Amino acid sequence: MQVYIRSSGNISPQHSLEKDLFFAHREMQDGNRWHAVEPEYSRYVDSKMIRRMSRIVRMGVAASKACLDEAEVRMPSGIVTGTAYGCLEDTGIFLRRMIDNQEELLTPTAFIQSTHNTVGAQIALLLKCHGYNNTIVHRGFSFENALMDAMLLLREGMDNVLAGAIDEITEDSHAILSRFGLYIPAIDNPEITAKTHKGSVAGEGASFFLLSSQEIHGARAILRGISTIYKPESLAGVESRIHAFLKESSVLSDGIGLVLSGANGDGDHDEIDNYLSATAFRNKTIVPFKQLCGEYPTASGFALWLAVLLISEQKTPDWLPNVSFPLRNILIHNHYDNNHHALYLISAC
């Protein structure tokens, strides 16, 4: 089924919360940990509340508020949130204290804020939204399965469902994931996909969308469909799923004006991306979006935000050339470690 994206709100290592800033300037960060560009939160949330919120909750609440404000909708009917890692900062705080203090003299705040549904719950609490509320925590499918849940709600007759995803990097998570070899040890160029590395760059961010089943005036884009592939058996298997996905969506491959690819610069990771650029995406304009947001399990939220922006504005920043207009259809192909593949088809309204 297709749904309408009425609005979006995004916090990422780019200036994605403010369109003008995003078009004007590409943020280039040093090192292999790209921090989200955080806004002046008091523009989105009451200052007293902000102080009590952890960083991931602030990012989630601000991105969701920006999304609702853009559509001028005060109250969504339902809220679905995806997160692979959940509230790592508070989890780490409670875990460290528990070990340091040998399970004595602990306080509840960090534990309370550590549960995976904290962001979704805080959004509901601030809005006083008693509607449907769910949190999906499935690694590289966290955002996709949250979107799918939202699309089912729309099919069941609900309108204005807020769906999004969020993940944060912390000192601990970056240190641990670095030991798994996920990140380029010494990085000389933020164009991470320009050459092949061992590892990629850590990213983080919050992406929220307001979805509707009806075409509402001012809707920004149409989400024609999403599809996921778990642990594909072969490169060719992914290629044939892409053809099947486009066929189901009744869009010819020729009609795809842009592919946003999840290549992240890691040689092993990008094997499939290189294969696809020579097969399914041959002669297509391909933009690897992770050179803007870094790698994290819900990075596809950033890709969808970027797709919605390009297709609704019908223009691209000067620093992101090679995208041609008019642009009717964008295909996103993301994958996380070749285990979780996701396809999205976005069309102009």
Partner 1 sequence: MNPPVFVAGLGVVSAIGLDAAACLHSFETEEAGMADIKILHTRQRGKLPVAEVKLSNEALAELTGLSSGMPRTALLSALAAREALADAGIFNFKDLRAGFISANTVGGMDKTEDFFESFMMNAAAGKLRDVVYHECGSITEIVADHLGINHFISTVSTACSSSANAVFTGARMIRHGLLDLALVGGADALTRFTLNGFNTLMILDKSFCKPFDEHRQGLNLGEGAGYLVLVSEEIMNRLNKSAYCRIAGYSNANDAYHQTASSPGGTGSFLAMKNALENSGLVPGDIDYINLHGTGTNNNDIAEGTAIKLLFDPVYPKMSSTKSFTGHTLGASGGMEAVFSALAIRHGIIYPNLRFETPMKELPFTPVTKFLNHQRVKHVISNSFGFGGNCTSLVFSAS
Positions touching partner 1 (CB under 8 A) are 79, 84-86, 91, 94-96, 98-100, 102-104, 106-108, 111-118, 120-122, 124-125, 127-139, 141-142, 145, 149, 152, 155-156, 172, 175-176, 179-180, 228, 230-231
If the CB atoms of residues 127 and 308 are measured against partner 1, the closer one turns out to be 127
CA distance 187 to 34: 12
CA distance 348 to 279: 25
Please give the backbone phi and psi of residue 291, each rounded to the nearest 5 degrees, phi first: -75, -10
If the CB atoms of residues 289 and 336 are measured against partner 1, the closer one turns out to be 336
How far apart are CB 340 and partner 1 at their closest, in Å? Answer: 9
| Region of residue 148 (phi > 0: left; psi between -120 and 50: alpha; otherwise: beta) | alpha
CA distance 113 to 94: 10
If the CB atoms of residues 281 and 336 are measured against partner 1, the closer one turns out to be 336
CA distance 45 to 263: 35
For strand 205-212 and strand 161-167, is the pairing parallel, antiparallel, or unpaired?
A: antiparallel
If the CB atoms of residues 1 and 24 are measured against partner 1, the closer one turns out to be 1
How far apart are CB 314 and partner 1 at their closest, in Å? Answer: 34
How far apart are CB 334 and partner 1 at their closest, in Å? Answer: 16
C-alpha distances in Å from residue 44, one per residue of 63, 131, 337: 9, 22, 35
If the CB atoms of residues 112 and 278 are measured against partner 1, the closer one turns out to be 112
How far apart are CB 271 and partner 1 at their closest, in Å? Answer: 20
How far apart are CB 302 and partner 1 at their closest, in Å? Answer: 19
C-alpha distances in Å from residue 287, one per residue of 193, 194, 221, 344: 10, 11, 19, 15
Beta bridge partners of 202: 33, 295
C-alpha distances in Å from residue 337, one per residue of 32, 53, 112, 207: 17, 31, 31, 21
If the CB atoms of residues 7 and 135 are measured against partner 1, the closer one turns out to be 135
How far apart are CB 255 and partner 1 at their closest, in Å? Answer: 26
Q: Please classify residue 69 by burial: count the beta carbons closer than 10 Å to its beta carbon, then call 0-12 exposed, 13-18 middle and 19+ buried.
A: middle
How far apart are CB 253 and partner 1 at their closest, in Å? Answer: 25
If the CB atoms of residues 93 and 280 are measured against partner 1, the closer one turns out to be 93
Residue 141 DSSP class: G
